[in-house]
């Protein structure tokens, strides 16, 4: 299978908030990523005022490996890649809820991609430290109760951390595309895609503001997943990109219920504001979808489109027939 060179690692970070976090779910996703990055840099960077690129420590720095990745030697350049994808995704515990309640165990999702999995301890330490410092303008604190490695069905596969236990256990379970497939996927002919968080797709250098064609959806899956494999996988993916797009054009849009949302974020590093909104809702496609299910199942885990590391582009795939 062409997607097998890309292993992903799934974790559930169980947290308990000291007080409710009443922030719009689209902005919470941005908040998690931004706050995590700031805390991680404060923990590991010897000179936070200096950009990562010219830093002599960048090759050995966890922050640089995660936030300013470079293509490994002897791997092909990625055409039209302006910003390398980040090899992690933080998934908000309740993306459909207007607020996160206090005093409940909430499942913050953490997905690590490929070679960055060996930095798991840094993710755990930074998330715990973020809980001590507080999240958002009101500095809402939380306690990391446990960190659990998950299998391809989101079932517990091993304990990484538990409150009251000082040491971390490095439990890494690589999950590849064949393990993500479900019964009936190979014969799928009708599929519903739910955009659970704002999803920004581009086609012909323009943002998609209406229901995307299936070919556009698959091409954006292709771009993100193949870039992640080149940067962090065992090896680059081998497939015919043009043939993939041509075959996907045989699948038609059957139904769509979508709305567009506009969300912006301010970069703490540059001060610039960036649009990170996109489409929300569901689309249904009909046609020979079975061969594309591995791409869609991986996209469920790593997101699709722009700003996926902020929690955007989170999709759920349901086979209807």
Ordered mean pLDDT values, 10 residues apiece, the chain (321 residues): 91 96 82 90 86 81 90 75 86 87 91 96 96 91 96 96 89 96 96 91 70 92 93 91 92 92 61 70 96 97 85 92 92
Write down the pLDDT at residue 87: 94
Inter-residue contact 174 to 8 (CB < 8 Å): yes
Provide the 3-class DSSP secondary structure of residue 185.
Answer: helix
Question: Residue 316 has which token pair?
Answer: 């759920």
- Measured CA to CA, the distance from residue 142 to residue 134 in angstroms comes to 7
Of 15, 244, 40, 46, the residue nearest 126 (C-alpha): 40
- Measured CA to CA, the distance from residue 44 to residue 194 in angstroms comes to 38
Structural domain boundaries in the chain: 8-162, 177-319
Q: Does domain 177-319 have CATH number 3.30.70.1900?
A: yes
Q: Which residues lie below 8 Å from residue 272, measured CB to CB, with a gap of 6+? A: 266
Of 217, 240, 220, the residue nearest 289 (C-alpha): 217
Q: Which residues lie below 8 Å from residue 173, measured CB to CB, with a gap of 6+? A: 9, 10, 149, 150, 151, 157, 158
Q: Give the model confidence (pLDDT) of 224-275 as tens digits.
A: 999 999 999 999 998 888 899 999 999 999 999 998 876 665 555 555 565 6
Indicate if 177-319 has the same CATH topology as 8-162: yes
Provide the 3-class DSSP secondary structure of residue 204.
Answer: coil
Class of domain 8-162: alpha beta
- CA distance to 97, 123, 155, 308, per residue, from 33 (Å): 18, 11, 24, 10
- CA distance to 15, 52, 110, 138, per residue, from 127 (Å): 10, 21, 10, 17
DSSP category for residue 2: T
Write down the pLDDT at residue 66: 93
Task: Name the β-bridge partners of 91.
Answer: 109
Write down the pLDDT at residue 98: 85
Instruction: Give a three-class secondary structure readout of 57-125.
Output: CHHHCHHHHHHCCCCCCCCCCCCCCCCCCCCEEEECCCCCCCCECCCCCEEEEEEEEHHHHHHHHHHHH
Task: Name the β-bridge partners of 274.
Answer: 265
State the Rg of the chain over Cα: 19
Helix (H) or strand (E) holding 42: helix 25-44
- Measured CA to CA, the distance from residue 261 to residue 263 in angstroms comes to 6
């Amino acid at each position: 299978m062409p997607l097998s060179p890309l292993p992903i690692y799934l974790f559930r970070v169980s947290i308990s908030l000291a007080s409710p976090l009443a922030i719009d779910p689209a902005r919470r996703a941005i908040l998690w990523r931004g706050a995590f990055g700031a805390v991680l840099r404060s923990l590991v960077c010897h000179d936070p005022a200096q950009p990562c690129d010219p830093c002599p420590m960048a090759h050995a720095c966890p922050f640089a490996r995660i936030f300013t990745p470079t293509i490994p030697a002897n791997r092909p350049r990625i055409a039209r890649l302006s910003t390398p994808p980040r090899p992690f995704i933080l998934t908000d515990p309740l993306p459909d809820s207007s607020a996160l309640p206090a005093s409940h165990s909430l499942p913050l999702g953490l997905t690590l991609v490929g070679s960055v999995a060996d930095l798991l301890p840094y993710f755990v330490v930074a998330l715990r430290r973020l809980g001590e410092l507080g999240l958002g303008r009101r500095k809402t604190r939380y306690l990391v109760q446990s960190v659990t490695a998950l299998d391809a069905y989101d079932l517990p596969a091993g304990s990484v951390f538990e409150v009251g236990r000082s040491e971390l256990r490095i439990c890494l379970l690589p999950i590849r595309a064949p393990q993500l497939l479900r019964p009936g996927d190979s014969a799928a002919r009708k599929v519903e895609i739910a955009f659970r968080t704002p999803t920004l797709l581009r086609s012909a250098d323009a943002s998609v503001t209406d229901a995307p064609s299936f070919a556009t959806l698959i091409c954006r899956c292709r771009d993100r997943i193949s870039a992640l494999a080149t940067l962090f996988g065992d090896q680059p993916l081998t497939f015919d990109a043009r043939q993939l797009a041509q075959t996907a054009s045989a699948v038609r849009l059957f139904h769509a219920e979508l709305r567009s949302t506009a969300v912006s974020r301010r970069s703490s590093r540059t001060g610039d504001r960036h649009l990170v909104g996109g489409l929300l809702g569901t689309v249904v496609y009909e046609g020979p979808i079975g061969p594309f299910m591995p791409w869609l199942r991986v996209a469920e885990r790593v997101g699709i489109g722009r700003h996926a590391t902020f929690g955007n582009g989170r999709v759920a795939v349901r086979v209807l027939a």
